[in-house]
A and B are shown apart, each in its own frame.
Chain A
């Protein structure tokens, strides 16, 4: 899981100060881990504003339940989990924005089983294309555009690096449904990226 501690700090000491109610320790936690939590919740929610709300709630929630934090987990991992869960919860309760259907982004086939489309090659290697900041931004934008139920699976599996079982548990889905959604999410993202990646090569 990509929840590495951004800076090297003594978690045991920090935890001691938190439990003693040291105000500066709380601020230190927010400053140390906040950026990372904001990034993951933004990805899950596809919205900066919702991500900020969720991160705030996650910190408050975590601070209230400090006695339930067990020393053998890392503080960063524990916070990460609380934030991801809070983001998923928010997703379930927020008003749904009209979603683009995933079907129209999946490959279409002819009756004989061949692809309808002839795929034009992406000439430039992906590492190269992704060296450009605007391409990275573009990819993030398209991930945000995926329907909620697909974006979440893609983010947890491909970006956060959870395995299928963990992802399925967090989302309350079967392993099989999780796999199908991941596959569709990747295919849909490919369709969204294709026009840009082709044109970049020319």
Chain B
């Protein structure tokens, strides 16, 4: 397996969907190629970073909605 193919298989590897045969080739390459190993770590970190940045506990999620938007919705409801 070449680095190029390993990159194609990354997603299936991460989600545990790689066939046994591909998995063996994948892991063998990974043991011998530091660059692909690093790429895999960064790919996984990227998924995690997205989840944390936008997740439930993120500072971005206010429990409430801006007051002017509430008022706009309520006003629009009266018109319909």
Q: Does A113 contact B (CB under 8 A)?
A: yes
Q: A181 CA to B23 CA in the complex, in Å? A: 22
Task: Pick out which of these stretches binds chain B: A35-43, A74-82, A86-94, A166-174.
Answer: A35-43
With A31-B65, A119-B35 as known contacts, state yes or no: A136 contacts B73, CB within 8 Å: no
A119 B69 Cβ-Cβ under 8 A:
no
* Complex Cα gap A109–B51 (Å): 28
Within 8 A of B (CB), among A47-86: 52, 55-56, 59-60, 63-64
Quote the shortest CB–CB distance from B59 to chain A (angstroms): 6
Q: Chain A contacts of B64 at CB under 8 A? A: 31, 34-35
- Contact status B72-A186, CB under 8 Å: no
* B46 lies within 8 A of A186 (CB): yes
Contact of B69 among A6, A26, A34, A121 (CB under 8 A): A34
Contacts of A136 in B (CB 8 A): 52-53, 58-60
A118 & B35 in contact (Cβ 8 Å cutoff): yes
* Cβ–Cβ < 8 Å partners of A133 in chain B: 59
Query: What secondary structure prevails in chain B residues at the interface with A?
Result: helix
**Which residues of A lie under 8 Å from residue B52 when comparing CB positions?**
126-127, 130, 136, 139
Residues of A within 8 A of B46 (CB): 186, 189-190, 193
Name the distance in Å between A169's Cβ and chain B's nearest Cβ.
Answer: 19
Residue from A43, A122, A183 in contact with B10 in the complex, judged by beta carbons closer than 8 Å? A183
Instruction: Provide the residues of chain B in CB contact with A115, threshold 8 Å.
Output: 3, 7, 35-36, 39
The residue that B7 contacts in the complex, of A36, A107, A193, with Cβ under 8 A, is: A107
Looking at chain A's contact residues, is the secondary structure mostly helix, strand, loop, or mixed? helix
The answer to whether A35 and B65 have CB atoms under 8 Å apart is yes
Do B80 and A64 touch across chains, with their CB atoms under 8 A apart? yes
What 1/0 mask marks residues of chain A from 143 to 181 whose CB sits below 8 Å from any chain B CB? 100000000001100110000000000000000000100
Chain A residue numbers with a CB within 8 Å of B69 are 34, 38, 52, 55-56
> Closest CB of chain A to B75's CB: distance in Å?
10
Q: Say yes or no: B77 contacts A60, CB within 8 Å.
A: yes
Contacts of B73 in A (CB 8 A): 30, 34, 55-56, 59-60
Q: Do residues A30 and B11 form an inter-chain contact, with CB atoms below 8 A?
A: no
* Interchain CB contact under 8 A, B54 and A126: no
CB-based contact B38/A121 at 8 Å: yes
Given A31-B70, A109-B3, CB of A126 within 8 Å of CB of B53: no
In the complex the two chains form, what is the Cα distance from A52 to B76 in whole Å? 13
Of all chain A residues, which has the CB nearest B56? A2
The residue on B at minimum CB distance from A141 is: B53
Q: Which residues does chain A contribute within 8 Å of B10, judged by CB atoms?
A: 183
Cβ–Cβ contact B11 & A186, under 8 A: yes
